Structure 1
Amino acid sequence: MDRTKRGRPDPQGPRPQTDPATTGDRAAGSPLARRPLNEVITARGLRRTYGHGKNAFEAVRGVDLEVAEGEVFALLGTNGAGKTSTLDLLEGLAAPSAGTVEVFGLDPRRDRDQVRAQMGIMLQSGGLPAELTVRETLEMWRGTCTAPTTADTVLGQVGLADRADVRVGSLSGGEQRRVDMACALLGQPRLLFLDEPTTGLDPESRRGTWRLLADLKASGVTMVLTTHYLDEAEALADRIAIMHRGEVARAGTLREIVDGHPARIVFDHPGLPLPQLRAARVDAQARVTVSTHDLQGHLSELLGWARDHGLRLNGLDARAASLESVFLGIAGESAETPAATPELIGASR
């Protein structure tokens, strides 16, 4: 992992800049109008290509995004979506093949010392030395920070105060993830990247991490979160972007993402011709699946039809649209894929 010094900057230090040329996008009624102007991260036309010629593969395909100061932004993705490559570009760990990235108004690679001093990164796998104790690991990491807090402070934050003298290699997988989190917090970052922060944690520790992240948000820390736990994104994120095939397929608040995606009613086929449900899509196999934007109306209609025919709708399951259903739709694992709405963060096609 990179050991460039980092920590909390002077309050009067670099602040994110607003491009006057983009202010027209923030006119009343624009999707961007609801967001504050103080972006911590701004990416425009972001692309990342691996290889050359016939073997070239474009993992990130023209992504624009903004992360505002103090918000939690969840970046989700289907397998091979380009999420990790996008994170590498935002963190300054790799250079974009095209497009630009600014963090605190600076280039995260060219102005690396200034940017990293304000940034904490929790990688998916920390790779910390197994022979050192937890305290020794944190003291070693403190030496890489510009204005670190104490090891005891972060040990208390992540719930490892009683494990300070245990070797890292003797910790459980979940405890090692909490050491990774402690290292990311040592520099008192203004911007925190969290790559699968609760993988391997038991339910109690996972909820404790959620509380810690909520406290960090309340203190003004900006966070970019990746997770495979969709309930985690629902619980923590102010805004969410779902990547697929190198592009942002859907983005916005949870409500904006879910709105417009159909609800679903499923039941065992009763063996009779089904009623005509206006403006719904019906897949009538052994199990009937109704995709609808009027869950209450169509469910009432089905229940009334079943009552009139003396039927029970066995195996009935009615669910409103959710982040999971949208995600699975984008991944191609459900009957209907929602239309992309890149305008919410300006993803280019």
Structure 2
Amino acid sequence: MKSVIAENLVKTYDKGKVRALDGLSLDVEEGTVLSVLGPNGAGKTTVVRILTTLLRPDSGKASVAGIDVIKHPEKVREVIGLSGQYAAVDEILTGYDNLVMFGELYHLGKKQSVIRANELLERFSLTEAAKRPIKTYSGGMRRRLDLAASLIVKPKVLFLDEPTTGLDPRGRQEMWGVIQELVKGGVTLLLTTQYLEEADQLADEIAVIDTGKVIARGTSDALKKQVGGERLEVVVEQAHVAKTMEIVAAVSGQKPALDEGLRLISAPVSTGSAALFEVLKSLDTAGIHALDVGLKRPSLDDVFLSLTGHVAEEKSA
């Protein structure tokens, strides 16, 4: 069953001159994680805002948990949670007061709001800081509280728009653990992220979007296979670069790429370890000592560069 469906969504700005979404279609299977990746301005945040009823599309259809987003936005809001790129909590209030306030905004009533706030504070390891103002929280604590607020109504579908932006590696790892726990509990998740490692770690499937359209979709492994097989990489002294280029070309049957600064010669190979062994043998015969040599599988960075023409570091929204 599809928990999220978007069909041919179009959204334009500046009297149609800017097309944020250009016929975008995607869906998310119930109980799974779909990660949406794309360079800056690809349309990631726009599609999240439409699916969470914050923005109306110019055309197209969308539904969440079987509810039409455009016709019944109020019903959609009852079954979803949203955590945006920036923490939406009140810095003056305490963590506890923030969660109680969110509960009352969702019409849970005072008693149930207090119960739910205490449950979430414990779940996100924020009980000790519950009575402190948010302005005293670290970035990681704020992000955890923001995610907790999005779970006040125990949503069927959760939208996380770059949930770990600004977190250090430890905070990111902690947030990943929380997200994985939520999915195990049956929550359907649509995740946008600027961290390719995050998509690799969390997503059942990945949708790559660019210029407002989905240009590729599949599992992480499937997308990597689209880029090609393994790459052979060899680092040598400057004096041996030219000869090593010849050897790698002969073994791979491809024109090698050269990073002159690193003296790194690389080329795609289809025979994996056999090609590696052959290159090492040829280098030894030529009297060349490799400073570093190995095989590299394609990464999601390679997928990005291949599909969009943008390196991953260029995207932020």
Q: Deviations over 1:291-343 (max 9, x none)?
A: 33443343233222212212123343531112222123334257xxxxxxxxx
Aligned match for 1:65, one of 26, 38, 42: 26
Question: Residues 61 and 293 (structure 1 numbering): CA distance in 2 closer, same or farther, change over 3 Å?
Answer: farther
| Whole-angstrom distance in 2 between the partners of 1:277 and 1:244 | 36
Structure 2 residue aligned with 1:46: 9
Give yes or no for the alignment of 1:323 onto 2:300.
Answer: yes
Kindly indicate which of the two structures has a greater share of residues assigned to helix.
2
Q: How many residues align?
A: 295
Corresponding residue for residue 111 of structure 1: 72
Tell me what 1:280 maps to: 254
Mapping 1:238-317, distance limit 5 Å: 238-262=204-228, 263-268=230-235, 270-272=241-243, 273-274=246-247, 275-284=249-258, 286=260, 287-317=264-294
Question: Is the contact made by 2:227 and 2:306 (CA closer than 8 Å) also made in structure 1?
Answer: no
CA distance in structure 1 between the partners assigned to 2:20 and 2:119 by the alignment = 39
Match of 1:84 among 40, 45, 48: 45
Structure 2 counterpart of 1:321, which letter?
Answer: P
Deviations 1:212-253 (CA, angstroms, capped at 9, x unpaired): 222211111101111222222111111111112222222111
Match of 2:202 in 1: 236
Moved more, 309-318 or 124-133: 309-318
Of 194-203 and 151-160, deviating more is 194-203
Give the TM-score, by structure 1 length. 0.78
Kindly provide the CA deviation profile for residues 26-51 of structure 1, in whole angstroms up to 9, marking residues without a partner as x. Answer: xxxxxxxxxxxx00111111221112
- Which is worse superposed, 305-314 or 62-71? 305-314
C-alpha distance in 1, partners of 2:170/2:273?
36
Could you tell me how far 1:101 is from its partner in structure 2?
A: 0.9
The amino acid that maps onto 1:89 is I
Tell me the amino acid that sits aligned with residue 295 of structure 1: G
Match of 2:98, as an amino acid? T
8 Å contact from structure 2 (residues 234, 294) kept in 1: yes
Q: Distance in 2 between matches of 1:145 and 1:162?
A: 25
Deviation of 1:264 after TM superposition, in Å, equals: 2.5
Relative distance call for 1:213 and 1:113 in structure 2 (3 A) is same
Give 1:82's aligned amino acid. Answer: G
Residues 158-192 of structure 1 deviation map (CA, whole Å, 9 limit, x = unaligned): 22111111111222222211111110011111100
Pair 1:239–1:314, CA change in 2 (3 A): same
Residue 279 of structure 1: CA displacement? 4.9
Change (3 A) 1:282 1:164: same
After TM superposition, list the pairs within 5 Å mapping 1:87-236 onto structure 2: 87-146=48-107, 150-236=116-202
Note if contact 2:9-2:57 (Cα within 8 Å) is conserved in structure 1.
yes
The 10-residue stretch of structure 1 (243-252 or 63-72) with the greater mean CA deviation from structure 2: 243-252
SS at match of 1:162: coil
Q: Partner of 1:6 in structure 2?
A: none
The residue matched to 2:302 in structure 1 has which SS? helix
Superposed CA deviations along residues 241-273 of structure 1, whole A, max 9, x for unmatched, are: 111222222211112111132332333453323
Percent identical: 32
Counterpart residue identity of residue 98, structure 1:
S
Structure 1 unaligned blocks of 5 or more: 1-37, 335-349
5+ residue gaps, structure 2: 312-317
CA RMSD of aligned residues (A): 2.1
The 2-side partners of 1:289 and 1:188 are apart by 50
